[in-house]
Structure 1
Amino acid sequence: MRKRLTLLVAGTTLLVLLAFLIPMGVLVRQVAADRALSRADDVVQTIVPLVGAGDLNALRLTVTAQPGVTVFLPDGSVLGAPAVPTAAVRLAAARGRALTVVTDDGQELAVPVVGAGGTTVVRTLVTDAELNRGVSRAWLILAALGLTLVLLGLLVADRLARAITAPITQLSEVSHRLASADLAARAEPAGPRELREVAGALNHLAGRIQELLAAEREQIADLSHRLRTPLTALRLEAESLRDPEESARVEAAADQVARAVTAVIQQARRRDAAPAAAGCDAAAVVRDRVAFWAVLAEDTGRALRRDLPADALPVAVAADDLAAALDALLGNVFAHTPDGTALTVTLTARPGGGAILTVADEGPGFPASAARRGTSGGGSTGLGLDIARKVAVAFDTGAGDDGGAVVRLELPGS
């Protein structure tokens, strides 16, 4: 924008200067020619009275002192600069009036003087050099003046363009910082009134976003904190179970929910800190969560098939996040398919690093609205797939070869 504004001012200035300097140049040339002709006419007018007086000696002395002047006497003799009678001289003698004729060498003046012995013609030649004397210098001065004005206009245009573009550049930088979650970024109102208003509106928007996010964090933290009471009650109920294995399983589930609640609170209260690098062994996490859900699968008559690598498979996902994603996917299977529906959990290495986690079942498949966040056909929150989607660099849902639903997550490598 700064470059365009500078070019616009430069073009406008140049057009104005051309409209001024071209006529000025023509006028300078015309004035120089008129001045040269005026001087020549003055010289001729000083000789004419001498011709009329008939003083040949005085006439000869005067003409000799004036270079370029020739006097053609009636008897054919010539005084002054040697020359032959030109067409202008003969025409002036014949008509008896002064003439100015343009020739190849310049402009010729012929003034006739009628006396008792005949017509005497005073002739002088104003050369092109005399007609254009001082014109080149004047044109150079005008060109230098025009160039100086153009450069001055460019300097002023650049300053004005900078005064306009600098606030725009600052607004762009602040908007990018806000887009990068730097909610403390603020624009300094500067420049024209319109830009100052935009800066104020952007600052107001940033403040409003900060307030809304703070309120959302507090609401999430408060909601998560309220879950601690029923979790504590659930843990106490688990301890009162007679079956030790059943009690341990329920306590483990309660502990998992408690950890998830704690993670939600910490994340909700995190302000502008950059997320710490996280990673885990995907094989170990998936193996642990599949073992947890295997108990429920056995109780509901579901065949749970697993295809997991024996070696470690590192991924750039926190263990709690990966566990929450797999729990959400398996929870969907158990919640939205009838008892006895078989399911398969597969974990393979991803080309280039990472892992591919696939959860497939032989149930009725996904409804048309399953891919939309917050939409569920089974009375749930509809956020299960979105929880899984957040940990993946690629997420895909579809149908298996034999029907049912298939969810495929590509996890980034560490």
Structure 2
Amino acid sequence: MRRRLINSTLAVVLVVIAVFGVSLVAVESRTIENAAHDRVHAEAVRLLSAAETKLAAGVPVTAASLAGQLDEGAAVVRTGPGSAPVRLGALPGGGRITATVENDAGASATVYQSRAGVNSEIGRNLAVIAGVALLAVAAAVLLAVRQANRLTAPLTDLAETAERLGSGDHRGKHRRYGVAELDRVADVLDVSAERISKMLTAERRLAADASHQLRTPLTALSMRLEEIAATAATGEPETLREEAAIALTQVERLTDVVQRLLTNSRDPRTGLAVGMDVDEVVKQQIEEWRPACRQAGRAIVRSGKRGLRAVATPGAVAQVLATLIENSLMHGEGRVAIRTRVTGTQVVVEVTDEGPGVSPDLGSRVFERTVSGRNSTGLGLAVARDLAEADGGRLELVQQKPPVFALFLGREADQH
């Protein structure tokens, strides 16, 4: 493309130079020729006038009397019809310019001058025109190269940007080139890069959230299956049925988590909030985590107001509580306590333990992704907060030591 732009620009300039240059040469040559003929004619008129003046004064017209009247070239003067010609100077060799002037009395003067001066002047003008043409061609080459670089460099840069997008580098350059069409392409590439980056970020976040949200119910299900295996060994069918029922509930919860992840990946604003029994979810979580607490030599208890109903997604609330309980088991100490209460139009579920709490350097940053007090993923509390906000609630750290996490949910309207 660069070579084509340079060649096309040079072709246009050469055509313009050829058209106007030839015309200019023709005009200048004609002008020089006409000026030379006018000078020779003027010499002939002046010479004839001098001869007439001498005749009128009775002075013989001879080569000697007219010697100072001719500047260059040669001349022939006749004083009348049939008179002897008076010759002045030597005829120039080669091409000549001739002019003859005659009066009413029959006297005439013919002047001959060489064309060498005319040809030399025409040659000088041709050299000037050729020099100007060469300068124009050189300027055209520089301009063509500059314009070609101005157009091809942005195209090369845009091609590199597109290649980077295809290779996984989704950072936009935000570079503009002063050419409307190229700037439009750059805008589209930057917008596409930003859109691709957001899509990949959303996909990575979904994968991270899915792995974390599925890990907790799978862990609980694994513990419950271990309980079932242990119960089956003792031969207690009633306890076995009870443990199996709890395990089925956990499978349903796992299915609900998967469904919610798929729904949120399509449209994060889509909510499944309904009127739910808070006691039922709290009870289910206590039963689910009691084996883990017992295995860790710790207890899990509940207190506070009973019979509360909130507007939320049961599976999401269960996931948030599971994350808080797991967080207490991992980072806390002593008894894990769940307390329910009411404040205004909201139902509050608090989870606390008797550990050292959240360090001051973490503070409110504990809900940020990748922020963790120990060697964990740092996703748990961030995901739990997102789940709470998706139902119109919120998750807060209301006390750092001992740690108290509070889940605020909208209270069902017809509840007193």
Instruction: Tell me the TM-score normalised to structure 1 length.
Output: 0.47
